[in-house]
């Protein structure tokens, strides 16, 4: 196990540097080099998942403080994400970093960042049900509820929940919590221009809650304004 951890740490630094080089290279150079190293990189992703799944999120951040940089670089590389296997394992790795029981706002902030990466991937690529399952679980739903039209059913379910929450008025036990509203609007930031998500964006914009402060993520309004413009 110790040898495996040592090998992973060495590979980790190699791929962090390689991804940084790809960011600076021309599109043709990146394409050629990515194809050359793709099989090795996919093996590294599988190795990374095996390492991360054995740790809690806090331990991961302590042992690999630059893990966020690494994953962000991967998520921004369309040549890597074009392969289904890479997409799937990357989603698993991201979900390993989610703090299941954050104790304060400082521990919650990385969760928002991870949700942003997941929603970015979802907006850029179409997934089969098995690939998007962990993403829907983060939103509080089970993927089995959305066969065969996962995205459509997920959006309709969220819209229905928002409308029911609105109709329940001051019945706080039946209303969507402000924290969930904020989280949902944050996930939707990169998705506002996608036709499949228009009903959800509209439901968020027309929702009238009874909280004294705005419950939607500020960047959500900015994204909607840019989309209209």
More confident residue, 99 or 151: 99
Residue where one domain finishes, among candidates 80, 97, 114: 97
Number of domains the chain contains: 2
42: domain range? Answer: 1-97
In a domain? residue 27: yes
pLDDT, averaged across the chain: 75
Q: What is the pLDDT of residue 210?
A: 64
Say whether both 8 and 68 belong to one domain.
yes
More confident residue, 16 or 212: 16
Residue 69 phi, psi dihedral angles, 5° rounding: -60, -45
In a domain? residue 4: yes
Q: What is the pLDDT of residue 118?
A: 76
Return the number of other C-beta atoms located less than 10 Å from residue 222's C-beta: 12
Residue given tokens 């098995």 in the structure block: 130
Task: At 23, list the tokens.
Answer: 């960011």
Dist CA 229 CA 213 (whole Å): 26
Give the residue from 80, 86, 78 showing the smallest Cα distance to 48: 86
Give the residue from 6, 1, 70, 3 showing the smallest Cα distance to 41: 70
Say whether both 3 and 57 belong to one domain.
yes
Dist CA 158 CA 61 (whole Å): 32
Dist CA 39 CA 81 (whole Å): 13
Q: Which pLDDT tens digit goes with each residue over 24-63?
A: 877 778 778 887 888 899 899 999 999 988 888 888 888 8
In a domain? residue 169: yes
Say whether both 201 and 138 belong to one domain.
yes
Give CA separation, 12 vs 8, 86, 121, 162, 225, in Å.
6, 16, 22, 42, 40
Say whether both 20 and 83 belong to one domain.
yes
Return the number of other C-beta atoms located less than 10 Å from residue 65's C-beta: 9
Say whether both 91 and 30 belong to one domain.
yes
Q: What is the pLDDT of residue 3?
A: 39
Q: Which pLDDT tens digit goes with each residue over 70-106?
A: 988 888 777 787 776 787 788 888 888 887 777 777 7
Give the residue from 126, 36, 15 showing the smallest Cα distance to 81: 126
Q: Is the pLDDT confidence value at 126 over 50?
A: no
Q: What is the pLDDT of residue 45?
A: 92
Q: Which pLDDT tens digit goes with each residue over 162-212?
A: 887 765 544 444 467 787 788 788 878 877 877 778 888 898 888 866 666
Q: What is the pLDDT of residue 129?
A: 43
Cβ atoms 8, 51 nearer than 8 A: yes
């Amino acid at each position: 196990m110790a040898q495996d951890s040592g090998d992973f740490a060495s590979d980790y630094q190699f791929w962090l540097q390689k991804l940084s080089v790809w960011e600076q290279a021309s599109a043709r150079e990146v394409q050629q080099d990515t194809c050359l190293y793709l099989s090795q990189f996919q093996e590294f992703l599988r190795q990374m998942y095996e390492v991360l799944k054995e740790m809690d999120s806090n331990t991961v951040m302590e042992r690999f403080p630059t893990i966020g940089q690494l994953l962000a670089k991967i998520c921004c590389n369309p040549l890597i994400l074009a392969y289904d296997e890479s997409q799937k394992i990357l989603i698993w790795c991201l979900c390993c970093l989610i703090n299941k029981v954050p104790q304060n706002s400082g521990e919650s902030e990385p969760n928002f960042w991870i949700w942003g990466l997941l929603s970015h991937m979802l907006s850029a690529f179409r997934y089969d049900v098995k690939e998007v399952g962990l993403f829907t679980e983060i939103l509080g739903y089970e993927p089995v509820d959305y066969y065969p039209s996962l995205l459509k059913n997920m959006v309709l379910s969220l819209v229905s929940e928002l409308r029911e929450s609105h109709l329940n008025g001051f019945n706080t036990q039946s209303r969507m919590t402000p924290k969930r509203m904020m989280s949902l609007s944050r996930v939707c930031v990169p998705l506002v221009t996608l036709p499949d998500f228009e009903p959800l964006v509209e439901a968020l914009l027309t929702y009238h809650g009874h909280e004294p402060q705005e419950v939607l993520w500020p960047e959500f309004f900015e994204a909607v304004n840019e989309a209209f413009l």
